[in-house]
Chains A and B, each alone.
Chain A
């Protein structure tokens, strides 16, 4: 099971990348009442049957791993949200894309911590593929708010797979995070 909200988010982003998306939007809002996350993509989307299967930990299309029946990404989020009395929604339309939202209330002791969001964003941005990514981040405690686009970062530092670019992007994001 994942430790932080960031781990759950990264898992869903990995799905979005594999869905052949052109645009992936990630939003993390550390509000007073808890942490809200949104991951939206314009990838291949799911039919109602595929959507139901995506939420069943023991049924998997087997597309990624032939012969394997488990798929734990979304079921993990659902389980964690249930334990913490939060909320979860999964909207998807075949051919249009998918939107995942979840919320962990600050008042519940079972809510995971937000985690290291700089690491989350670096890992998100360096995923394979040429798709655009928009990352939005807000924090109510000190009014922190910023937005970064993958295309702008690539334009500034070059290919994000290169270790030197990754170090620069990490520094850039860390400075945004400190406001």
Chain B
């Protein structure tokens, strides 16, 4: 692959934009927030971040999702941590979200509108979590 120029990047975006608009009906209302403090980075949050973006791409979700980073969420013992905020779902902080479970998160929470029970560490009321 030769070095891409900024013009080529613009063209690629224009091409992708067309594809995205066709399926972007709900708007970008899903937020995925990855904890990227010292604790998160040491536990592999950077790889998790990459894996989430790759999974979103795979499941055609990139047009609807905003992926952000934050510092430590205070759950250093279960890093990497990922918070998901989306309509009709309780905000959830997932822990132990290593890159190998990133796709499970995308499929379960974002696609199927369900919860990835085994990784929930904060936010939802205890009565909706099945253990």
Contact = CB atoms under 8 A, between A and B. Distances in A.
Interface of A: 1-2, 6-7, 10-11, 14, 18, 64-65, 71-73, 76, 116, 119-120, 122-123, 126-128, 146, 152-153, 156-159, 161-168, 170-172, 174-176, 178-179
A156 B46 contact: no
Contact of A167 (B1, B47, B53, B68): B53
Contacts, number: 115
Interface stretch (B70-78, B79-87, B88-96, B119-127): B70-78
Interface string B1-14: 11110100110110
Of B1, B46, B68, the most chain A CB neighbours within 10 A belong to B46
A115 to B, nearest CB: 8
Contacts of B116: none
B9 A167 contact: no
A163 B46 contact: no
Given A123-B36, A123-B49, A162 B4 contact: no
A164 B61 CA distance: 8
Nearest to B61: A163
A174 B62 contact: no
B57 A163 contact: yes
B3 A179 contact: yes
12 contacts: A76-B42, A116-B46, A119-B46, A119-B50, A123-B46, A161-B67, A163-B32, A164-B63, A166-B67, A167-B56, A171-B4, A175-B4
B38 A76 contact: yes
A163 B53 contact: yes
B107 interface: no
Contacts of B111: none
3 A-B pairs with least C-beta separation: A163-B62, A164-B62, A175-B4
Contacts of B57: 163, 167
Contacts of B42: 1-2, 7, 76
A14 B67 contact: no
A72 B62 CA distance: 34
A80 to B, nearest CB: 12
Contact of B69 (A128, A170, A176, A179): A128
Contacts of B10: 156-157
Nearest to B72: A65
Contact of A164 (B16, B32, B36): B16
A116 B1 CA distance: 18
B66 interface: yes
B108 interface: no
Given A65-B74, A157-B10, 4 more contacts: A128-B70, A153-B9, A166-B62, A175-B4
Contacts of B41: 2, 7, 10-11, 14
A159 B20 CA distance: 15
A164 B13 CA distance: 9
